[in-house]
A and B are shown apart, each in its own frame.
Chain A
């Protein structure tokens, strides 16, 4: 099945050089209610929506983050389950808000390996230096 994302999503993806990355998006009104959603929502486990509730009541990771006005909010490497890392981008466009989930599992896993080695060494060095 082919899929064409809305223009604001494509423009934003281009601006952050994430073409080819697995993603999903949510379009919200100014009161945080869902207007539209698309792409790979199943991958990010955001599939059941109740139109009577705001999105931050349904997607815990968004609680406290909305609404976004002005500069985009970017939370890198969020982990909701143990198998995926996502970069979370939230920004406003005209009177709407867009939430974009980008898979960052590959880069985060590599970063975790490197950081694990570095910090394990730091702990050893701390103990040596008393």
Chain B
């Protein structure tokens, strides 16, 4: 069976852990619990005619005191770049993490994830000064998806989409 490491990357408190918990354990908690280091989960995803084992690395979020260390990215096949559009500061983290991946590993497939779409009325929009860089992210992503771990919107679709992007080209449909 194919086995692929997929990292959850993003600023702190954007919902990376909640997305993994929703997908792996089918649970959601309103309580925010910070991630230390990395939590590793395994989930087998069934695609059209094949199975893939996703190793989900839920990496601690970037904040003003810490950046993600390149060692956590080692062996990563793809990543989910998670934003909380209700918090403008999370766009800047997404850009810096995308640049870290490119510098450390070179380009890897990723999905730009606008999480917390249950709060879409509170989304702030991309800060003016970051619009050009976010456009580059959007153009280089496999897809841009809206998700909500709370309402279970788009979560399974997001993980299936990144797994599909990791299939050999001949198997992608």
Contact = CB atoms under 8 A, between A and B. Distances in A.
A73 B72 CA distance: 9
B39 interface: yes
A111 B63 CA distance: 14
B109 to A, nearest CB: 15
Interface of B is mostly: loop
A74 B38 CA distance: 12
Interface stretch (A11-19, A30-38, A40-48, A57-65): A57-65
B55 to A, nearest CB: 5
Given A75-B71, A126-B87, A64 B76 contact: yes
Contacts of B89: 126
B36 A112 contact: yes
A108 B39 CA distance: 12
Interface residues of B, number: 27
B64 A122 contact: yes
A111 B3 contact: no
Contacts of A77: 36-38
B12 interface: yes
Interface of A: 57, 60-61, 63-65, 73-80, 85, 108, 111-112, 115-116, 118-120, 122-123, 126
Interface of B: 3, 5, 12-13, 32-34, 36-40, 42, 53, 55, 63-65, 69, 71-72, 74-77, 87, 89
